[in-house]
Structure 1
Amino acid sequence: MIKIDELREGFGSFWGSVSEGWDRLRHTAAGALTRFKPGEQTALPDRGQIDDPLHFPAQSWSMLGGDVFEDEQRLVVRIEAPGMEKDNFAIEISGDTLVVRGEKRFEGETTEGRWRVLQCAYGAFQRTVPLPAAVRGDEAKASYRNGVLKIDLPKVQPGKPTSVNIKVD
């Protein structure tokens, strides 16, 4: 027979693990969570063609996961944005932030029928990525392959990524 203290300890350990995992997910994914708003060319189906009761096109959110890589010469930003064309992106550097805008367009089926589930996000979006070093935006290059937007940003002052140790008093 399990004692109440053992049960309490087991639940506390479980809850701590879930809480830690949630905090990590929230911290890591906060920048990737992106709002999509219906744009001029989104072309979503009419609400009457969708049986999914949870589909609200004005409230679509999606994860646009990204990576930032740094070496001595450059920063490389990769953003996962499947289902788009390279012409659907607008990229700019504003201060120490990379701003990626775009619009993911809906592609309907050619036969008649109904949409039972619509879970993908469609519409106009903006994703911002803080840059850890100053870059030469006029020399930046971007490519889009296999659903991944890759932006290569040469550094203003080449050098190893810096790290600073701070003493706690």
Structure 2
Amino acid sequence: MDPFSRKLLEELEQMQQQTGRILRSMSLSRMIPMEAEGWQPAVDIYESETHVFVYAELAGVVGDSLRVTVDGKRLTVSGLRQLPPQPSIACIHQLEIELGAFQRTLNLPSPVEVEGIESTYANGILMVSLPKRIRKGKVQIRITPGE
């Protein structure tokens, strides 16, 4: 492949990645929070045969403020992000970092076993590993006589 074509493909790939980031940041659930308070962190959900994995981007959130709860097929992550105070600020030129309390409730793709849930928070990323509820095979149900 000639250098011009290679450069063109590289540019197209970069445009595709940037467009994907823009579209992800414009997700409807983040633009119009129906069940949330405050800002909403970006979240990725992955599924394997045995687990559901949830990753939340929480840069700057103090780990002690984080709360993760699971209720049925819903996972809720909440917490607080604050920047250190800057007493000598005279003018703000750009303001993009969302601060304050947040809550994000997600519908999980399958039922999970609450006993085996694990989570870690490192380098601004919260990872929650949720083992899927294992379906039992064929079960015979005893029928009791009615009146």
TM-score (norm 1): 0.56
Q: 1:27 & 1:118 partners in 2: Cα distance?
A: 16
Contact 1:82/1:148 (8 A) holds in 2: yes
Take 1:26 and 1:85, find their aligned partners in 2: how far apart are those partners?
25
Partner residue in 2 for 1:150: 127
Amino acid at match of 1:112: S
Aligned to 2:98: 121
Cα distance in 2 between the residues matched to 1:148 and 1:27: 17
Residue correspondences, number:
111
Correspondence for 2:55 among 72, 75, 78: 78
Q: Quick one: structure 1 residues 127 and 155, their matched pair in 2 at CA, closer, same or farther if it must change by over 3 Å? A: same
Give the letter aligned to residue 123 of structure 1: G
Stretches of structure 2 lacking an aligned partner (at least 5 in a row): 1-18, 136-147
Match of 1:87 in 2: 64
**RMSD after superposition:** 2.7
Q: 1:26 to 1:113 in 2, by over 3 A?
A: closer
* TM-score, structure 2 normalization: 0.64
What is the one-letter code of the residue matched to 2:23? L
Q: Distance in 2 between matches of 1:144 and 1:75?
A: 17
Q: Give the 4+ runs in structure 1 shifted more than 3 A.
A: 24-28, 32-37
Paired-residue identity, %: 28
What corresponds to 1:29 in structure 2?
A: 27
Q: SS of 2:23's equivalent?
A: helix
Runs of 5+ unmatched residues, structure 1: 1-20, 38-60, 159-169
